[in-house]
Amino acid sequence: MYGVVVLVELLIQQIGWAFNTLADPLASGLVTGAVGALFLAGAVVVWTRRLLPFRALTAYDRVIVLRLGAGILVLNAAYPYGAQTLGMGTIITMSALGPLCCKGSNLWRVVRHRRKMPRRVLRNASLNIGLRVVAFLGVMAVNNPLAEFRHFDKEAVFGLACGVLGAWSFWNYLSCVYDDHYTLKERLRILSVADLLAVPFTALAVWAMSPVLGGGFSELSGKVLLWGSIAGVLSFTVPTLIGAWVADKISEDASGVFYLFDSLMGTLVGFVGALLGVLSAVQAPDSWGWGGMALVLLAAIVAARNPIIEVIRSEGRFVFMKGGQPA
| Alpha carbons 7 and 108: distance in angstroms, whole number | 28
Radius of gyration of the chain (CA): 20
pLDDT tens, residue by residue, 135-174: 888 877 776 666 655 555 666 677 778 778 888 888 888 8
Greater confidence (149 vs 195) lies with 195
Could you tell me which residues are beta bridge partners of residue 322? 325
B/e letters for 69-104, b = 16+ CB within 10 Å, e = fewer, are bbbbbbbbbbbbbbbbbbbbbbbbbbbbbbbbbbbb
**pTM greater than 0.85 (yes/no):** no
pLDDT at 303 over 70: yes
**pLDDT tens per residue, range 75-128:** 777 766 666 666 656 667 777 778 878 788 888 888 888 888 899 999 999 998
Burial class (CB in 10 A: 0-12, 13-18, 19+), 48: middle
What pairing do the DSSP bridges indicate for beta strands 325-326 and 317-322? antiparallel
Angle subtended by helix axes 238-246 and 184-213, to nearest 10: 140
Mean pLDDT check: name the lowest of 11-15, 172-176, 281-285, 317-321: 281-285
pLDDT digits (tens, 9 = 90+) for 278-302: 665 554 556 777 787 788 878 878 8
- 45: closest CA among 188, 245, 236? 188
Spell out the residues 6+ positions from residue 278 whose beta carbon is closer than 8 angstroms to its own.
18
pLDDT of residue 63: 92
Amino acid 47: pLDDT: 92
Looking at per-residue pLDDT, the higher value among 326 and 236 belongs to 236
- Report whether 25 contacts 32 (CB < 8 A): no
Neighbours of 105 (CB within 10 A): 9
- Check pLDDT > 80 for residue 23: no
Per-range mean pLDDT, top range of 6-10, 116-120, 205-209, 321-325: 116-120
Average pLDDT over residues 267-273: 73
